[in-house]
Amino acid sequence: MDRPHPDVTLLDEARPALGEPRPLPAEAPPEAPVQRLDPRAVTLWRLTGAMWWAMWTLCMIIPWLLWEWPLLLMAPVAALGAAWVAWVPPASYRHFSYQVGPVDVRVMHGWWTRHVAVVLHSRIQHVDTRQGPVERAMGLATVVVYTAGSVGAMVGIPGLAEGEAEALRDRLAQLSGTDDAV
Amino acid sequence: MPSEAATARLDGDGRRLHPFTLVFSALTIGRGMIWPALAGGFGLGDGQMGRTLPIILAVLAIPALIGSAAKYALYRWRLDADELLLRSGVLNRQNRVIPLARVQNVEVRQSLLQRVVGVAELRVETAGTGLQAEAVLSVLGVGEAQSLRTDLLARRRAQADAVLVDAGEGTEAIERPVATPLAKLSTWDLLLAGATANEAGVIAAAAAGLLQFTEQIPGELFETAIRGAVERTQGAYVVVGIAGVLVLMVVGWIISIAGSLVRYHGFTLTVDGGEMRKRYGLLTVHEASVPLRRVQAIRLEETFLRRWLGLASLMIETAGGSPGQRGGAEAFVPIARRGEVARLVRGIFADAQVDEADFQHVHPKAERRLRRRYLLSFLVLVWAPFWVARWFEVQPAGTMAPWVGLLLPLPWLMARWQYAHRGWALPPGYVMARSGVLNRVTWIVPDRKLQTLHVRDTPFQRRLGLSTLVVDTAAGGKQAAVIDLAHSTARRLLEELAVRARAAVRARPPSAEPTAGSG
């Protein structure tokens, strides 16, 4: 997708870290196709981002009202917001992908901190689709996968076309097994 | 089998809540408003505010009422053969699919008022994370709620049975010792536990002892030194302050010892029939039992002092059992000798080979990262304030500023220690992650309890080719993590653990079926 990790000499790789070399399991997952979000996700994030930053810019009126700070304070906030709206949504989009394999769902995301999250189908507790007002207007939806885990218990896939999101939600709900390891 | 999309099925044949839902949400809104209204009325009397406040509240209440009416109008639920479907929300719309096999607990609740008008609230809980139940149908007619509950439980059982048949026999039975106590703590053990629990107190006690010792023996030398220090720091108040702190610490230490003796008196731990039972306490006698299959992980905690004395304490992390209680950490054995740890762990995880675990270091660049961070925080948080004090001529901090520089090797040492203690191991069937110097924590997580796996890296880590691996279980709120692995190692571990987690689920004994909370 992007720059690969710079390769480094690995101390912890040099040792037989993972024990005996084990033959791959029979049901070794064939590479599931890497799926991208709907390209409209960029527009969605731009819209919501712009609203968010506009709100902060307007908040800068408060110090002006109360203590007559210069109204010019709005400028840096607006500039920051503009930069954010211009740069972050496409970057997030570029770094967002997911795979629904035969045994697990993988979500790769993050333009700043990169995340790879793996959720085994058998651990899925329930699945939601969510739509905010902007998402609904654009015909987009977010799928959220819940596990019984503690902190990383919610894994979300935003910016999917409505129909696609529903299909994914129903498919994941069906794939979820009975053994949730709790 | 659901072929149609869940959303479509809800559209076609989704059911609504009982119309009384409207009454109850109006009551809730009214209850929220009544106290401010009354307070306003009384507090502000006949003034302008006193009259306007109820009006303001009424104006606020109207959108809330409209909102809850819209919520009622849009809410749909539907019970299918293997799923419970829910739709909720007005602006933020949510469609939820709960596989019935996942349902842990179904509860029908009725308040007094609800009993009078013949409605009830149905709550469905899965092992999910939120504090709120995953589905709250509020309110339904009593008959409807009860039959839904019966249906839900019956269908869940059918689901679980089907899966159990699928899984088949032929899984290894794990033998456990029968009814002999796994651990018993003597008074001496408890004394040790208390004495080593409060580290500051121990250090203070040692320091106080040393002071007394020095006062008696070398005499002059220390006296002159102390007197000199007192003169230079302009005032005995410093000495008095230090002495006061020391006294407080010693008192704290004694309290901690007494607390340990009272709390854990007669500690006995038994593992029998898939259950762990603990009994302890002098004044309040605690008796707790935890089903072993609820144990998500064991955490071994070794503080600096305990490590030095060859002691450790063990915690177990559980997933919540009863409604309202969502799991968490619990002392498994408050104090144990290092040699016993492996045996104790095997009492819970029979096949864990903890003592043979071969810990691997993380990438050496982790030490570099740690060193930079410690150095930076030392310079900014410790040394810089002293120089600022010198600049503003605040004594005695100002005079001490150059001497604080003597502590500069500290960041190096800390980084080295942190690196030395941080590690991971993969004994068969388990993942272990260890970190920390002052309190070293070792996680022991069975493959079969892994929930989700994460690899993440910040730009700073990415620059060095490092990543963090997070291993998530259903333990309450805490995760085991290995920070600063080589990125490729982290990815390889992720794949390895994903395969192991899946294999472990298949090989699970059938006794560990997912039905947990009884209805």
| Chain A contact probe: residue of B363, B451, B495, B515 with most A CBs at under 10 A | B451
Give the three-class secondary structure for A159.
strand
Spell out the SS3 assignment of B386-433. Answer: HHHHHHCCCCCHHHHHHHHHHHCHHHHHHHHHHHHHCEEECCCCEEEE
Q: Does A57 touch chain B (CB under 8 A)?
A: no
Asked whether the beta carbons of residue A120 and residue B505 sit closer than 8 angstroms, the reply is yes
Q: Are B98 and B78 in contact (CB under 8 A)?
A: no
The distance of A53 to chain B (nearest Cα, Å) reads: 21
> For residue A176, which residues of chain B lie inside 8 Å, CB to CB?
99, 101-102
- Residue B16, SS3? coil
Contact yes or no for B163 and A178 at CB 8 A: yes
pLDDT of B211 reads: 62
Distance (Å, whole) CA B465 – CA B259: 48
Q: For chain A, which ranges sit under pLDDT 70?
A: 1-30, 150-153, 177-182
pLDDT of residue B370: 94
Looking at residue B40, its pLDDT comes to 64
- Asked whether this complex has an ipTM greater than 0.85, the answer is no
Q: From chain A, pick out residues whose CB is under 8 angstroms from the CB of B165.
A: none
- B chain contacts of residue A152, beta-carbon cutoff 8 Å: 451-452, 454, 470, 472, 479
Nearest CA in chain B to A18: B426
* Predicted pLDDT of residue B487: 92
Nearest to B92 among A5, A130, A148 (CB): A130
Q: Which of A170, A171, A172, A175 to substitute to test the interface with B, most B CBs within 10 Å?
A: A170
Residues of chain B predicted below pLDDT 70: 1-4, 39-51, 54, 128-132, 160-179, 198-204, 207-238, 320-330, 476-477, 505-519
Residues of B in contact with A118 (CB under 8 A): 452-454, 494, 498
For B446, name the nearest residue in chain A, comparing CA atoms only.
Answer: A181
Closest Cα of chain B to A24: distance in Å? 9
Asked if A180's CB is within 8 angstroms of B127's CB, the reply is: yes
Q: Closest to B477 (Cβ–Cβ): which among A150, A170, A174?
A: A150
B78-116 residue pLDDT tens = 998 888 999 988 888 888 888 887 777 778 888 888 888
Q: Which of A20, A126, A128, A134 to mutate to test the interface with B (most CBs of B within 10 A)?
A: A126
Name every chain B residue with its beta carbon within 8 A of the beta carbon of A115.
Answer: 454-456
A67 touches B: beta carbon within 8 Å? no
DSSP collapsed to 3 states, B63-83: HHHHHHHHHHHHCEEEECCCE
| C-beta atoms of A149 and B459 within 8 A | no
Q: Which of A51, A10, A129 shows the shortest CA–CA distance to B96?
A: A129
B268-272, strands of its sheet edge to edge: B181-184, B268-272, B275-280, B286-291
Q: What is the pLDDT of residue B515?
A: 36
Nearest CA in chain B to A168: B5
Portion 112-131 of A in contact with B at CB < 8 A: 112-120, 122-131
Test A149 with B428 for CB contact under 8 angstroms.
no
3 state SS of A117: strand
Q: Let me know if B445 is exposed, middle or buried by CB neighbors in 10 A (0-12, 13-18, 19+).
A: buried
Residue among B128, B159, B459 minimizing CB distance to A125: B128
Give per-residue pLDDT as tens, B29-60: 888 777 777 766 666 555 666 667 767 777 78
* Among the listed residues B117, B123, B124, B106, the one whose alpha carbon sits nearest the alpha carbon of residue B141: B117
